[in-house]
Amino acid sequence: MNQKQKAEAFFALHRKGDPVILYNVWDAGSAKAVAGAGAKAIASGSWSVAVAGGYADGQAIPLPALLDVARAIVAATELPVSIDFEGAYAVEPDAVALNVAQVADTGAIGINFEDQVVGGTGLHPIELQARRIRAIRQMADRRDLPFFINARTDLFLKEGDAAKHGGLVPAAIERGLAYAEAGANGFFVPWLADPELIGRICEAVPLPVNVMMKPGAPDAKTLAKSGVARISYGPGPYRAMIDWLGKQAAAVYGAA
């Protein structure tokens, strides 16, 4: 498949109540392993990519290095590849679009794009984030590429007390509606784990809703019943792999 065909296939995987599962990768080798396990699409995780390269999360990995990782992942598999692009390494909409164009040039067919102020505090105002999304959409449209913008809100990620997440749902819905109008294709609500609250967002926001698996999160069947269309695993796979590697090494050195 060419890039456009991969993008169209990726769009088709997002079905409310029948979510696509994305077990996030960090390099070409992990992408091959996940593809070989039966994945229908590949998605990177920003934290995992950064840490695997010796960097902190939060756009600390240089953009050229991230683009190299994206190219390697795309080259490693025939599956559609989405790249976690954090805040796009820019704030102003035109600069955001230019940077996302570089991701599209790697052969990737979509991104995660978050609304938190990377390196700062809080979230970007809705109006600014909508303009940033719109600039990406216009760039992709000029290329005649159905590029998947998974618009992420960090409202829930920024609030560590899950008991307060219910009070954030109206604000999340407001952002989801604005992002949909601006041209986003998915709405990502990482760290929200309550099935009832997730269901409210799925019902109110017209976009396919993406949730992140984490300890204590509902299983995939429960999330599907809530209307979720996409489940991702974020840094979980990398952390599990590193934990396994450390234990294997400890056994070797402990036996020496």
State the residue for tokens 């041209």. 183
Q: What local confidence, expressed as pLDDT, does residue 255 receive?
A: 67
pLDDT digits (tens, 9 = 90+) for 55-112: 999 999 999 999 999 999 999 999 999 999 999 999 999 999 999 999 999 999 999 9
Domain residue spans in the chain?
A: 3-255
The highest-level CATH class for domain 3-255 is alpha beta
Using the predicted structure, report yes or no on whether residue 144 has a pLDDT greater than 60.
yes
- The predicted model gives 119-147 an average pLDDT of 97
pLDDT digits (tens, 9 = 90+) for 23-54: 999 999 999 999 999 999 999 999 999 999 99
Separation of first and last alpha carbons in the chain: 50
Q: Please state the pTM of the whole predicted model.
A: 0.96
In degrees, rounded to 5, the angle at the alpha carbon of residue 217 between the alpha carbons of residues 213 and 222 is: 100
Q: What is the DSSP track for 171-209? A: HHHHHHHHHHHHT-SEEE-TT---HHHHHHHHHH-SSPE
Distances (CA, A) of 118 to 52, 85, 91: 20, 11, 9
* Percentage above 70 pLDDT, the chain: 99
- The predicted model gives 185-199 an average pLDDT of 97
Using the predicted structure, report yes or no on whether residue 159 has a pLDDT greater than 70.
yes
- Biggest distance spanned by C-alpha atoms of the chain: 61
Nearest to 238 by CA among 55, 51, 48, 85: 48
Neighbouring C-beta atoms of residue 152, cutoff 10 Å: 27
Q: What local confidence, expressed as pLDDT, does residue 195 receive?
A: 97
Q: Which residues pair with 42 in a beta bridge?
A: 81
Q: What local confidence, expressed as pLDDT, does residue 216 receive?
A: 86
- The predicted model gives 200-228 an average pLDDT of 96
Using the predicted structure, report yes or no on whether residue 164 has a pLDDT greater than 90.
yes
Using the predicted structure, report yes or no on whether residue 256 has a pLDDT greater than 80.
no
Output DSSP code: residue 19.
Answer: P
Q: What is the DSSP track for 33-98? A: HHHHTT-SSEEB-HHHHHHHTT--TTT-S-HHHHHHHHHHHHHH-SS-EEEE-TTTT-SSHHHHHH
Output DSSP code: residue 121.
Answer: S
Q: What local confidence, expressed as pLDDT, does residue 254 receive?
A: 85
State the residue for tokens 């450390």. 246
